[in-house]
Amino acid sequence: MSLEAVLSRISEIRSQIDTLQSGGTRASSSAAAAAASSSAFDATMAATGGAATGSGVTAGGAAGTPSAAPATSVDAGKGTVATGSGKTGDDVVADAKKYLGVPYVFGGTTTAGMDCSGLVQTVFKDLGVTMPRVVPDQAKMGVAVPSLAQAQPGDLIIPKGEGHVVIYVGDGKVLHAPRPGKDVRIVDNWYKDSDIATIRRIVPSAQEAAATKAASTVGVGGSGTDLQTAALMSLMQSGSAA
């Protein structure tokens, strides 16, 4: 969705709010404002490439955008993003980088040595998010991202066969614990969409977190101008307004 389309949608929402506030009760106006806030959030997320709520993506990464429905705790759930820790994908990448140079040890989860899924579990544990231990279980957590084109820093990429897991760090690079004799490192991503079983988003991306924060600043009785400002600020923070 282009910036012009987003602004057009926000203008429509503003008109709806003005109409309802002038002719309806306070209760109905509040409900309309809340609904409009949600619509502005979804429009902004579509423009930034983030997640629109209620998209119903399947575990295998079907077409669409990942759902950003909040988890009820910091545990990484199935079909929902864990928001309880307040961490984002950028935090995942930053924490994972602490383990660069740690040797690969099958079954390991410490700085003395770790394997690919041990690295993933340890990183999320550092951030206060509970994750399963092995790749097939990790592949069921969070929400599916449709393709590499929509992947954001902090997403997990699991190839077909679910024998490995890597952390996407952005700019076409991944961080992982490769195999015995190697250490945790950042390399160019060698997977193609056809190689991938699923891409999982465990915590919100930085873009999604920024959009949610902007939307939350709009109160139930917020004006159309507030909605437009929040949406534009989110676009600027994500770089999409450049």
The residue from 176, 208, 210, 212 that is catalytic is 176
CA distance 57 to 130: 22
| Active-site annotation holds for 17 | no
DSSP state of 183: B
Strand partners, 185: 176
CA distance 178 to 29: 56
CA distance 130 to 93: 16
| Active-site annotation holds for 68 | no
The residue from 81, 116, 145, 231 that is catalytic is 116
State the DSSP string of 5-23: HHHHHHHHHHHHHHHHHHH
The residue from 164, 185, 223, 229 that is catalytic is 164
CA distance 154 to 171: 12
> Rounded to 5 degrees, what are φ and ψ at 201?
-105, 115
Which stretches does DSSP call E strand in the chain? 109-110, 113-114, 143-144, 156-159, 166-170, 173-176, 185-188, 196-201
| Active-site annotation holds for 176 | yes
Using an 8 Å Cβ cutoff, are 191 and 149 in contact? Answer: no
Residues with a known catalytic role: 116, 164, 176
